[in-house]
């Protein structure tokens, strides 16, 4: 069963169970997946579906930050709940220790010594992570190591 079908089935189940927040979050996700499918004019691969979900999670995280800065904890909590729902469909992301190890090895291989080398290190780190690395976390480690 594709990720799209799984999300759709879960949305119907949430609607029947009266779980409004979950149903709404999954409905929004399905809309984004359908938009991407229409844009591509073909079915999405599993990797493309995962990329769409990762983008949605990233947007939610940014919203949480803005709501917390703006003093709107109730809206931040709603976004966090959506993140939890979406994370259930994503593969497990790499731990911080794994990301740190990859960043360290890439920096040594490339011979990076300063922040000017960040442009060489980051693409290789993300490539090795195969979509399982949070870019923000990787960037923080690159800054620590090179800075």
pLDDT of residue 69: 94
pLDDT of residue 118: 81
Q: Is the pLDDT of residue 144 over 80?
A: yes
Q: Indicate if 12 and 65 belong to the same structural domain.
A: yes
The CATH number of the domain where 115 resides is what?
1.10.10.410
pLDDT of residue 20: 93
Q: Indicate if 36 and 64 belong to the same structural domain.
A: yes
Find the DSSP H helices in 18-146: 20-40, 46-69, 73-87, 96-110, 118-129, 135-146
Would you give the end-to-end CA distance of the chain in angstroms? Answer: 45
Q: Is the pLDDT of residue 94 over 90?
A: no
**For 70-84, what is each residue's pLDDT tens digit?**
999 999 999 999 999
Full-model pTM: 0.73
């Amino acid at each position: 069963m594709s990720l799209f079908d799984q999300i759709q089935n879960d949305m119907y189940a949430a609607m029947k169970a009266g779980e409004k927040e979950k149903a709404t979050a999954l409905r929004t996700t399905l809309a984004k997946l359908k938009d991407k499918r229409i844009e591509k004019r073909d079915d999405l691969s599993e990797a493309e579906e995962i990329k769409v979900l990762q983008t949605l999670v990233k947007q939610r995280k940014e919203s949480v930050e803005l709501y917390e800065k703006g003093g709107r904890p109730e809206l931040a909590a709603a976004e966090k709940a959506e993140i939890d729902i979406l994370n259930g469909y994503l593969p497990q992301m790499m731990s911080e220790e794994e990301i740190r190890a990859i960043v360290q090895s890439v920096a040594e291989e490339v011979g990076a010594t300063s922040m000017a080398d960040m442009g060489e290190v980051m693409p290789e780190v993300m490539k090795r992570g195969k979509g399982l690395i949070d870019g923000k976390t990787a960037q923080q480690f690159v800054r620590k190591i090179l800075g």
